[in-house]
Amino acid sequence: MKKIRKAVFPVAGLGTRFLPATKAMPKEMLTVVDKPVIQYIVDEAREAGIEHFIFVTGRNKGVIEDHFDIAYELEQTLKSRNKVAELAILDGQRLRPGAASFTRQQEPLGLGHAVWCARDLVGDEPFAVMLPDMIMKGVGKSCLAQMTEVYHETGGNVVAVEECAPELAHQYGIVGVGAHKGKAFEITSMVEKPKAGTAPSNLFINGRYILQPRIFELLASQEKGAGNEIQLTDSMLKLMGEDAFWGVKFEGKTYDCGSKVGFLAANVAYGLERTELTADFKAEIAAILKGH
Ligand code: G1P
């Protein structure tokens, strides 16, 4: 079975929900404590053994490329001032030479189209897709690492799912499920943004995928689906007719940083986790809550 070496990060979205913050800055660069959101996702990929990082970007996203590059002048200045700790932080987050690729989605035609834009960079091997809005704090292992563990037993295609309130199902891709095999369960149906009362379950695709390269051929038809966009879910449904699809229930907590509440909650949760901040931050939060 082929190892999952490459991950695709569709980062072309406009981030209109966060205007004006995202007027001149990509939404993926919004900060949770002291790291941009995209850094959390890349760190999750690294933890799962990803070796090559493929960013599907758009206009005004150049700063993401800079973020993962060497910052020569900055690093020289830090060196001359003997700022060892800061240099170590930069060294740990940089992507190694040749380990990152960037391509542009020229038009906002949907998630399926964004993934298809990475076809030549992925080539003929299974790969991961990681949506950049979702920061996931896994129990024991990261979400993608939980999935690769299952993938090594099942092969095929794997998506991570979580439960949602039935009235929220219309916001997501929803799966129907069948028999279990260890930690995985067979996926029997899939629908993107189901109309009220039609969802096959309350399990939604949370933004982490392991897919076989055949998906690119299916995406090539560029058929539009929900919201008049080229949906990844629609091509996955076609692929399901040919190849096994497995679901893994993510063990952990997801922060949807595409929503303001999720983004703010991520800052609180990750801020409280920093031992150097915990005591002071807790006291500040308690004082704020008293006034509400
Ligand atoms: C996308 C996917 C959907 C998935 C969701 C998770 O939707 O199309 O299947 O459930 O991400 O956030 P979007 O949020 O882009 O509308």
Q: Could you report the per-residue pLDDT of 152-165, keeping only the tens digit for each?
A: 999 999 999 999 99
pLDDT number for residue 196:
87
Instruction: List the one residue out of 175, 112, 138 whose CA is nearest residue 45.
Output: 138
pLDDT number for residue 291:
83
Of 4-8, 220-224, 229-233, which range is least confident?
A: 220-224
pLDDT number for residue 1:
80
* Secondary element (H or E) of residue 140: none
Q: How far apart, in whole angstroms, are the C-alpha atoms of residue 250 and residue 206?
A: 9
Q: Residue 169: which pLDDT band, with cuts at 50, 70 and 90?
A: very high
- Mean of the pLDDT values across residues 254-263? 95
User: Which residue lies with its CA nearest to atom 13 of ligand 1?
Assistant: 172
Q: Residue 267: which pLDDT band, with cuts at 50, 70 and 90?
A: very high
Q: Is 202 exposed, middle or buried (0-12, 13-18, 19+ CB in 10 A)?
A: middle
Q: Residue 12: which pLDDT band, with cuts at 50, 70 and 90?
A: very high
In three-state secondary structure terms, 31 is strand
pLDDT at 180 over 90: no
Ligand 1 centroid to 41 CA: how many Å?
Answer: 16
- Mean of the pLDDT values across residues 8-16? 93
Q: How far apart, in whole angstroms, are the C-alpha atoms of residue 105 and residue 192?
A: 21
237: Cβ below 6 Å to ligand 1?
no
Ligand 1 centroid to 90 CA: how many Å?
Answer: 31
Strand duo 100-104 + 52-57: pairing? parallel
pLDDT number for residue 183:
85
Instruction: List the one residue out of 104, 72, 75, 77 whose CA is nearest residue 88.
Output: 75
Count of positions (residues) in the chain: 292
pLDDT at 289 over 90: yes
Using a pLDDT cut of 70, give the percent of the chain over it: 100
Work out the angle at residue 177's Cα, subtended by the Cα atoms of residues 172 and 182, and round it to the nearest 5 degrees. Answer: 120
207: Cβ below 6 Å to ligand 1?
yes
- Mean of the pLDDT values across residues 27-34? 97
| Cis amide linkage into residue 20, ω under 30° from 0 | yes
Q: Which atom of ligand 1 lies nearest, measured to the CA of 134?
A: 12
In three-state secondary structure terms, 134 is strand
199: Cβ below 6 Å to ligand 1?
no
Contacts of 235 (CB under 8 A, 6+ apart): 112, 215, 218, 219, 221
Burial per residue of 258-287, b for 16 or more beta-carbon CB atoms within 10 angstroms, e otherwise = beeeebebbbeebbeeeeeeeeebeeeeee
144: Cβ below 6 Å to ligand 1?
no
User: Which residue lies with its CA nearest to atom 5 of ligand 1?
Assistant: 172
Q: Which atom of ligand 1 lies nearest, measured to the CA of 207?
A: 6
CB 238 within 8 A of CB 205: no
Ligand 1 centroid to 275 CA: how many Å?
Answer: 33
Strands (E), the chain: 6-10, 31-32, 35-36, 52-57, 100-104, 127-130, 134-138, 157-163, 173-181, 184-192, 203-211, 245-249, 252-256
pLDDT at 182 over 90: no
Report DSSP state, residue 95: P
205: Cβ below 6 Å to ligand 1?
yes
Q: What residues pair up with 82 in beta bridges, in sequence order?
A: none
pLDDT at 61 over 90: yes
The tokens describing 63, both together, are 């700063």
pLDDT number for residue 271:
97
Q: What is the mean pLDDT of the chain?
A: 95
173: Cβ below 6 Å to ligand 1?
yes
CB 107 within 8 A of CB 122: no
pLDDT number for residue 147:
97
Work out the angle at residue 37's Cα, subtended by the Cα atoms of residues 105 and 158, and round it to the nearest 5 degrees. Answer: 70
pLDDT, tens digit, for every residue of 194-229?
998 899 999 999 999 999 999 999 999 988 988 899
pLDDT number for residue 181:
83
Strand duo 157-163 + 252-256: pairing? unpaired
pLDDT number for residue 116:
98
Q: Return the residue matching tokens 């933890």.
A: 47
CATH of domain 6-258: 3.90.550.10
Ligand 1 centroid to 157 CA: how many Å?
Answer: 17
Phi/psi at 256 (nearest 5 deg)?
A: -85, 95
